[in-house]
Structure 1
Amino acid sequence: MVFAYKRIEARIGEYIAAHYHNVIEVGIGRNTDVAALCARAGLRVRATDIREPPEVPGVESRVDDVYAPDLPWYAGADLVYAVRPGVEMVPPLIDLARAIGCDLIVYHLGNEIYENGGEIIDCGPVLHRYYRP
């Protein structure tokens, strides 16, 4: 089961690395696999959480709250993404992506979705693109 779980993160990271260059993971928590894979692929990677994020080689991180984000820190990103966020985080994630003019992709926990589920991206695991400028 652990293998399947990490395979999901690998597929998400591979998709992001193939389509984006400057990405931010919101709500990284302790699951750093996607950010680490993107950094190893040569992307600029930033990560936030409401608690101090763990150090990950090649990933800039800081404490930030998606409900009151420090917008200048997000400047230049072409993607904001979240892996298994609470569904209540999706509206402020959409607002953040809209404010900085970048895509928003979410990988949900289980069968959760927000509203109509956005644009579906099937890269193995199903991703939801909720905003694209």
Structure 2
Amino acid sequence: MCRYKRIERCIGEYIADHYRRAVEVGIGNNPEAARMVASAGALMLCTDIRSDIRHEGLPVVTDDIFEPKRELYAGADVIYAVRPGVEMIPPLIALARSVNSDLLVYHLGCEIYEGGGELVNCGPVLLHRYHRRT
């Protein structure tokens, strides 16, 4: 588990260093990256499909990425997800395009979507940028 927290810290540090308005999709029970982004003042909110997800000090909203409430994401300069299911990638890309936001994904293992997007190296962690805002 310690290794996963190091990965999430790397992701959080990268996002905090490069963005000012971030939304994490699918926070689940892993708030480490969001805490790093929040401590830098760059976290807009976190979403999860489960309504029982709560993390003290973090704004968590229930939303379904397959039918997202786009207004929640408006103004974000990055939408990111840590270990989402590959089936979530197409609706994440569509959402990022519709709100003109970067989309960064950290995949589980070797799982990628189509060509994997643009690789972003943030230390020992590789992120996949599937959409770049204009």
TM range (shorter): over 0.9
Task: Give the residue type in structure 2 aligned to 1:132.
Answer: R
Aligned to 1:121: 120
Q: Distance in 2 between matches of 1:94 and 1:127?
A: 14
5+ long unaligned stretches in structure 2: none
Aligned to 1:23: 22
| 1:40-92 deviation digits (Å, cap 9, x = unpaired) | 112133111110221231x3221100011111111110000000000000000
Q: Which runs of 4+ in 1 moved over 3 A?
A: none
SS in 1 for 2:67: coil
Number of positions where the alignment pairs a residue of Structure 1 with one of Structure 2: 131
SS in 1 for 2:64: coil
Q: After the TM superposition, which residues 18-57 of structure 1 pair with which residues of structure 2 at under 5 Å, given as runs?
A: 18-52=17-51, 53-57=53-57
Aligned to 1:63: 62
Aligned identity (percent) is 54
Q: Is the 1:79–1:105 Cα contact (8 Å) retained in structure 2? A: yes
Q: Distance in 2 between matches of 1:55 and 1:80?
A: 19
Aligned to 1:132: 132
Q: Output the aligned Cα RMSD.
A: 1.0
Q: Is the 1:104–1:131 Cα contact (8 Å) retained in structure 2? A: yes
Q: Normalised by the size of structure 2, how large is the TM-score?
A: 0.94
Q: Distance in 2 between matches of 1:55 and 1:130?
A: 27
Q: After TM superposition, give the deviation of residue 3 of structure 1 in Å.
A: 2.4
Q: Distance in 2 between matches of 1:69 and 1:21?
A: 22
